[in-house]
Amino acid sequence: MFSVMFLSKKIIFSRSAMDCSSDESSELSDTDIGDYAEKVYEDLKSGKLVARLGADRFRCPFCPGKKKQDYRYNELLQHAIGVGASNRAAKVKANHQALANFLKTDHADAAGSLPARQAEALFNPPKPVQNRELFVWPWMGILANVPAEQTEKGGATVLQQLDRFRPSRCKAVHSSNGYTGFVVIHFEKDWIGFKDALAFHNHYKSRHLGKMDWNESSRRGKHIFGWLAKEEDYNSDDPVGRLLSESGELKTVSELQLELSRKTETLITSLTNQISAKSKYLLELECKCNQMDLALQRAMEDSDSLHQRYNEEMRNMQSNAREHSRRIVQETDQLRKQLDEKESAIKRRAKQLSEIVAQTDMERRKLENERKKNDGQNDSLHMARIEQKKAKKVCEFLLRNIRKRRKLL
């Protein structure tokens, strides 16, 4: 849907641009610029010409051939004001004046974020000057008949007295003979500074303390005179003219408008290129950020998976440890029972052995007694055998003697 809306807006813009470009061929006099600008303003207000495409996105419907087709509010307003005050064709100026009026009147909500001084400069540009009057640029004013004590400390007293005109600085004019009584006032180098300088000029002029009054007055007294520095002051061969020629140059308001318009367009182009480069850089950063987010998401998923597996392994290890501990306790209990049983059996066996040893001692003593008896009997028997052998020998001796006797007989 967004692409369809954008395409429809682009078609409307293209048609509007074609209509405007086709009208460029017709001629328009400078006196008709106001009426034509009002007609174009009505076309912009009715939506026939589209300039706003979003909250802070604008297009210039009168410059279809330009490379830049996407402006912010302040960029397009500066473009419209600059072209509207330039020396281009009357119809081009009228179109852009209408665009500037349309932006300031109907889309001022988009200027909420502009700095105060920039917003004032955009919404209150100077009116085009039709003559070729030359002013000293940067804008300067001249004070005459200023007491010397007011120029001390960098002219702090003078600046304080002129505070309503917002001067940037001031400089006392000296010659070879010393202080001349003149002070050159410097204003900011923008259209607000020009307005302040004109207010300064009109302030003294309305009180009959301007340049003509200074030149015509024969009794100046203690009054301070002031005026805006122009061509006559710049070209004068006096200390004031020399200071002006050293600090500035002569320009017409139209030339400054055209120059500032060109600078503004150059600045806008430069800012546009910077914005494009930064947008590209931001897009690259966004891609890298998305990649990093994706990598981080994957890392987080891997970390969660590892953490989950770690928890499962820890639960399994704890379960196994508990089971192993239970088995060890059971085996320990069984071993303890077995040891207790063996200890009891050993104790019984020791008792039995003690009883057997005691019985064996008794039997050993009996056997010892019997052995002693047997030894006595054996000795008797041995002696009897000896006696028997002796008797046997005697018998044999007698028998042999008898046998010998028989043989003799």
Domain spanning 134-247: CATH 3.30.70.2890: yes
Does residue 129 have a pLDDT over 80?
A: no
- In this structure, are residues 32 and 49 in contact, taking their beta carbons and an 8 Å threshold? no
- In this structure, are residues 99 and 51 in contact, taking their beta carbons and an 8 Å threshold? yes
* Confidence band for 124, pLDDT divided at 50, 70 and 90: low
Rg (CA), the chain: 65
Q: What count of residues does the chain have?
A: 409
pLDDT for res 3? 39
82 is written with which tokens?
Answer: 């600059």
pLDDT for res 121? 53
Amino acid at 78: Q
The verdict on whether omega for the bond into residue 239 sits within 30 degrees of 0, i.e. cis, is no
Does residue 9 have a pLDDT over 70?
A: no
Does residue 8 have a pLDDT over 80?
A: no
- In this structure, are residues 5 and 54 in contact, taking their beta carbons and an 8 Å threshold? no
Rounded to the nearest 5 degrees, what angle is found at the Cα of 271, between the Cα atoms of 283 and 247? 155
- In this structure, are residues 54 and 92 in contact, taking their beta carbons and an 8 Å threshold? no
* Confidence band for 198, pLDDT divided at 50, 70 and 90: very high
pLDDT for res 1? 39
pLDDT for res 27? 63
Terminal-residue alpha carbon distance, the chain: 176
What is the DSSP annotation of 196-245?
HHHHHHHHHHHTT-SHHHHHH-S--TT--EEEE-BHHHHH-SSHHHHHHH
pLDDT for res 396? 82
* Confidence band for 173, pLDDT divided at 50, 70 and 90: very high
Strand partners, 250: 136
pLDDT for res 252? 87
* Confidence band for 115, pLDDT divided at 50, 70 and 90: low
Does residue 116 have a pLDDT over 60?
A: no
Distance between CA atoms of residues 190 and 193, nearest Å: 5
Q: Which is more confidently placed, 1 or 241?
A: 241
Give the three-class secondary structure for 150.
helix
Does residue 310 have a pLDDT over 60?
A: yes
Mean pLDDT value of segment 394-407? 82
**Per-residue pLDDT tens for 231-244?**
898 988 889 999 99
**Per-residue pLDDT tens for 98-107?**
888 888 887 7
Mean pLDDT value of segment 152-177? 89
Mean pLDDT value of segment 161-187? 91
Nearest residue to 34 via CA among 87, 98, 92 = 98
Does residue 32 have a pLDDT over 50?
A: yes
Nearest residue to 95 via CA among 166, 161, 36 = 36
Mean pLDDT of the residues in the chain: 80
87 secondary structure, DSSP code: S
Distance between CA atoms of residues 130 and 94, nearest Å: 16
**Per-residue pLDDT tens for 12-30?**
434 444 444 444 445 677 6
**Per-residue pLDDT tens for 332-374?**
889 889 888 988 888 888 888 888 888 888 888 888 888 888 8
**23 exposure class (CB count in 10 Å sphere: 0-12, 13-18, 19+):** middle
Please give the share of the chain, as a percent, with pLDDT higher than 70. 85
Mean pLDDT value of segment 91-113? 78
Amino acid at 88: R
pLDDT for res 120? 54
pLDDT for res 2? 36
Does residue 54 have a pLDDT over 50?
A: yes
Does residue 187 have a pLDDT over 90?
A: yes
Distance between CA atoms of residues 92 and 216, nearest Å: 45
Mean pLDDT value of segment 143-153? 88
* Confidence band for 197, pLDDT divided at 50, 70 and 90: very high
pLDDT for res 19? 44
pLDDT for res 200? 93
161-181 burial, b if ≥16 CB within 10 A, otherwise e? ebeebbbeebbbbeeeeeebb
Residue with tokens 């947008």: 279
115 is written with which tokens?
Answer: 């700095």
Distance between CA atoms of residues 304 and 296, nearest Å: 12
Nearest residue to 262 via CA among 13, 38, 85 = 85
- Domain boundary assignment for the chain: 2-125, 134-247
Provide the 10 A C-beta neighbour count for residue 38.
14
Distance between CA atoms of residues 90 and 129, nearest Å: 15
Question: Could you tell me what percentage of the chain is helix, strand and coil, using 3-state DSSP and rounding each to the nearest 5?
Answer: 70, 10, 20
Distance between CA atoms of residues 194 and 129, nearest Å: 12
